Amino acid sequence: MPSKPPAGDPVQDAPQVAAPQHAAAGLTAIAHTLRMAQEQMGVARTARTLLKVNQKDGFDCPGCAWPEGDKRHVAEFCENGAKAVAEEATVRRVTPEFFAAHPVSDLAERSGYWLGQQGRITRPVHLAEGATHYEAVSWEKAFAIIAEELGALDSPDEALFYTSGRTSNEAAFLLQLFAREFGTNNLPDCSNMCHESSGSALTETIGVGKGSVSLEDLHQADLIIVAGQNPGTNHPRMLTALEQAKASGAKIISVNPLPEAGLERFKNPQSVSGLVKGVSLTDLFLQVRIGGDQALFRLLNKLILERGGAVDETFVAAHTHGFDEFAEAARSADWDETLAATGLGRDEIEQALAMVLASERTIVCWAMGLTQHKHSVATIREVVNFLLLRGNIGRPGAGVCPVRGHSNVQGDRTMGIFERPSAAFLDALEAEFGFAPPRHHGLDVVRSIEALRDGRAKVFFAMGGNFVAATPDTDVTEAAVRRARLTVHVSTKLNRSHAVTGRRALILPTLGRTDKDVQAGGRQVVTVEDSMGMVHASRGNLAPASPHLLSEPAIVARMARAVLGPASRTPWEEFEKDYGTIRDRIARVVPGFVDFNAKIARPGGFALPHAPRDERRFPTATGKANFTAAPVEYPKLPAGRLLLQTLRSHDQYNTTIYGLDDRYRGIRGGRRVVLVHPDDARELGLADGAYADLVGEWKDGVERRAPGFRVVHYPTARGCAAAYYPETNVLVPLDSTADTSNTPASKSVIVRLEQSPSA
């Protein structure tokens, strides 16, 4: 059976609403997976491709960053991983004829869903100044254009090099090397919008900005708190780990304004009894108000302090700093204020406390529900306080578990994709490559947009991603990007960012994870790092989507040669020929990668060192794990307003829309829905099925409006609302960001709902 042609546009957005589900995965998930995969790939290619996902000789799933266990199943993927694979391995193609038929003005009118459905891009294309259409261009000409525009800048800091988190370690290492040799640290990345708050909080408190647990630890924990995360949709393989932990007696507390089906009950598709019955996962559901987590953990900390013998005194004395100041702040936590901030009942918090005190090995997992608020860094520091109190870091079955998003977002950071690199990293780069990298800090995502808006940045280069759709304040951001002299996107598929261009624009099509990568030096592998610091090889097995594609390392290497010219002493040509030579350099620059090439030959890869986890050593400024004592914050709402979180549906991968359903939440056939508690909706005079505009309220007085959302009465926490990203990014003000990490506060948007006639 061949693949099906893409849907027409405008795509009908007509949401149908049924009751939310209470279990995730199961047989429906398998059927859904196969249908979506076959639509994109046909039957034979579906089988050939899906069997290689996450196998030791196969490719790393381009879906999420959840690790693979040591014991692999024949089908080591989940419904949503399969969708990510199908999206990339599709047999649909975007050719130069497509661009001849669709002027940029037409692409700009299309939905993101339609753009993505057109298939893989086959040729580099150029939008000349004043032109209406992209046209095919040779790779040489494309690199010459980049060299010309970068060469015309007054300072290297007028260029921005963005990275999305699918990029391999090898490509990421080359990109940061090129940017720094060119002369800038302007390396914004999707992490700035994602787990930056986790990195900021963890680096300060435990000395390493990454999680401290392995998959084995999860299996051994006796209490797992999942806060601000929806694994049933975004990290489905995590449910298997939770199931295994439960089988060994662990308890699970979930903290979330929404009852998420995946956390309620899991029907494991890998076992027959699992498929039919499933296991219930959550033992205690704390339906917290958006932004109430810091107050919750602060009060738990007070209660632990008040309970004799509950604090791990030996650990606190030997390994921590700042206890007294923290304890004083925690002791003043107030019950009434906590109940107001969290919306929880006293009995629920007491139940949670009892489970915490009964646990000897606690892990806290979190994702965007904790990282995308004004007070996110303080919230995550409070989670660290909570774990430190009972010695829950640096021993088996315990620790911090920020669950990463993109499959190699953690590795890209390890490779130096960071606008604020450490001096030690730059020293190592300088010693290895013999040039002086810039020492002043570069721009993160939000500051990059401001620089484009203010004319301080003029060339924008993106290694993957969909910058204008993923970033906040869509109208402001799109206007800012349009001011650029040149925008360049290294991409696999079409997206909104290709339609919102600078004066000139390039799309450079590249190989994806599933494609076979053959260079002059033979068949190549790349490497990735998962959410738990395991590094392993990834090897695509499909014939590339077109013979004209270049790999990401090849694109950076050729761009570097065109831009830097013979003055560069870096062996770019050699790097392109054989990625092993890149890994030899990584081994000498990045700690933990000694013998890199030898280590990736091991099936399953190797673990990077992590001082707090491995030896209870905390490489912080004080040399100890730091307790912190920030004042408690939580969002305060004016009357008649709701606090909106912008989140993912089950049928999307960030800005890539696979389909219009959100099965577990009972939504089908449309994405413009806003979930509101029935009592709040009634108070606002909004019936289920009414239509409303979402209107943002921010201190700048600018009206930000997302029109035509169907109101869905939904059991979320009171005062809260939820709607999908990226449709709602227009509502997130550019300067509404987290303290310290500068991450857009896309889970705390104050809105009012204005009833509108219809969609």
CA distances from 638 to 164, 430, 709, 751 (A): 36, 53, 22, 10
**The dihedral formed by the CA atoms of 530, 534, 204 and 375, expressed in degrees to the nearest 10:** 20
Please identify, using beta-carbon distances, which residue of 342 and 746 lies nearer to Mo ion: 746
Question: For ligand MGD, which residue of 50, 89, 290, 401 counts as binding (CB under 6 A)?
Answer: 290
**Residue 308, φ and ψ in degrees, nearest 5:** -55, 135
Question: For ligand MGD, which residue of 374, 493, 539, 704 counts as binding (CB under 6 A)?
Answer: 493
Instruction: For the segment 672-711, give every residue that binds ligand MGD (CB under 6 A).
Output: none
Instruction: For the segment 708-737, give every residue that binds ligand MGD (CB under 6 A).
Output: 725, 728-729, 732
Q: State in angstroms the smallest separation of the CB of 620 from ligand MGD.
A: 26
**Dihedral class, residue 514 (left if φ above 0, else alpha if ψ from -120 to 50, else beta):** alpha
Q: State in angstroms the smallest separation of the CB of 749 from Mo ion.
A: 18
Give yes or no for residue 220 binding ligand MGD (CB under 6 A): no
Q: Give me the count of residues in the chain.
A: 759
SS3 349: helix
- Pairing label, strands 534-538, 526-529: antiparallel
Question: For ligand MGD, which residue of 76, 217, 222, 293 counts as binding (CB under 6 A)?
Answer: 293
SS3 71: coil
Give yes or no for residue 742 binding ligand MGD (CB under 6 A): no
Report CA 687 to chain centroid distance, whole Å. Answer: 34
Binding footprint of Mo ion on the chain (CB under 5 A): 194, 405
Closest CA to 664 of 678, 648, 680: 648
Question: For ligand MGD, which residue of 176, 654, 736, 742 counts as binding (CB under 6 A)?
Answer: 654
Which of Mo ion, ligand MGD, none does residue 229 bind (CB under 5 to 8 Å by kind)? ligand MGD
Give yes or no for residue 166 binding ligand MGD (CB under 6 A): yes
Please identify, using beta-carbon distances, which residue of 164 and 736 lies nearer to Mo ion: 164
Q: State in angstroms the smallest separation of the CB of 702 from ligand MGD.
A: 17
Q: State in angstroms the smallest separation of the CB of 66 from ligand MGD.
A: 8
Please identify, using beta-carbon distances, which residue of 66 and 579 lies nearer to Mo ion: 66
In this chain, which stretch among 101-109, 325-333, 351-359, 509-517 interacts with ligand MGD, using CB under 6 A? 509-517
What is the rounded distance in angstroms from the CA atom of residue 437 to the CA atom of residue 430? 7
Q: State in angstroms the smallest separation of the CB of 674 from ligand MGD.
A: 14
Q: Do 58 and 539 touch, CB atoms closer than 8 A? A: yes
Spell out the SS3 assignment of 279-329.
EECCCEEECCCCCCHHHHHHHHHHHHHHCCCCCCHHHHHHHEECHHHHHHH
Structure tokens at 529: 């790092």
Question: For ligand MGD, which residue of 177, 202, 365, 368 counts as binding (CB under 6 A)?
Answer: 368
Give yes or no for residue 501 binding ligand MGD (CB under 6 A): no
Please identify, using beta-carbon distances, which residue of 188 and 405 lies nearer to Mo ion: 405
Which of ligand MGD, Mo ion, none does residue 197 bind (CB under 5 to 8 Å by kind)? none
Give yes or no for residue 421 binding ligand MGD (CB under 6 A): no
Question: For ligand MGD, which residue of 119, 211, 464, 719 counts as binding (CB under 6 A)?
Answer: 464
What is the rounded distance in angstroms from the CA atom of residue 295 to the CA atom of residue 335? 10
SS3 94: strand
Question: For ligand MGD, which residue of 134, 173, 460, 467 counts as binding (CB under 6 A)?
Answer: 467
Question: For ligand MGD, which residue of 23, 29, 64, 389 counts as binding (CB under 6 A)?
Answer: 64
Instruction: For the segment 375-414, give every residue that binds ligand MGD (CB under 6 A).
Output: 405-406
Query: DSSP for 392-428?
Result: -SSSTT-EEEE---BTTHHHHHHTT--SS--HHHHHH
Please identify, using beta-carbon distances, which residue of 409 and 429 lies nearer to ligand MGD: 409
Show Cβ contacts of residue 452 under 8 Å, excluding neighbours closer than 6 positions: 160, 460, 480, 481, 483, 484
Which of ligand MGD, Mo ion, none does residue 644 bind (CB under 5 to 8 Å by kind)? none
Give yes or no for residue 255 binding ligand MGD (CB under 6 A): yes
Which of Mo ion, ligand MGD, none does residue 495 bind (CB under 5 to 8 Å by kind)? ligand MGD
Please identify, using beta-carbon distances, which residue of 255 and 750 lies nearer to ligand MGD: 255
Which of ligand MGD, Mo ion, none does residue 653 bind (CB under 5 to 8 Å by kind)? ligand MGD
Give yes or no for residue 260 binding ligand MGD (CB under 6 A): yes
SS3 564: helix
Q: State in angstroms the smallest separation of the CB of 746 from ligand MGD.
A: 4
Q: Do 362 and 225 touch, CB atoms closer than 8 A? A: yes
Give yes or no for residue 512 binding ligand MGD (CB under 6 A): yes
What is the rounded distance in angstroms from the CA atom of residue 22 to the CA atom of residue 372? 26
The counts of H helices and E strands in the chain are 32, 33
Q: State in angstroms the smallest separation of the CB of 643 from ligand MGD.
A: 9
Give yes or no for residue 118 binding ligand MGD (CB under 6 A): no
Instruction: Give the side-chain half-sphere CA count within 13 A for 272.
Output: 0
Closest CA to 416 of 428, 406, 407, 404: 428
Q: Give the amino acid at 709.
A: F
Q: Do 407 and 394 touch, CB atoms closer than 8 A? A: no
**Residue 296, φ and ψ in degrees, nearest 5:** -60, -50
Which of ligand MGD, Mo ion, none does residue 545 bind (CB under 5 to 8 Å by kind)? none
Q: State in angstroms the smallest separation of the CB of 48 from Mo ion.
A: 29
Write out the residues near ligand MGD by the rule CB under 6 A.
63-64, 80, 164-166, 190, 193-194, 227-230, 233-235, 255-258, 260, 288, 290-291, 293, 367-369, 405-406, 463-467, 470, 490-493, 495, 510, 512-513, 552, 645-648, 652-656, 725, 728-729, 732, 746-747
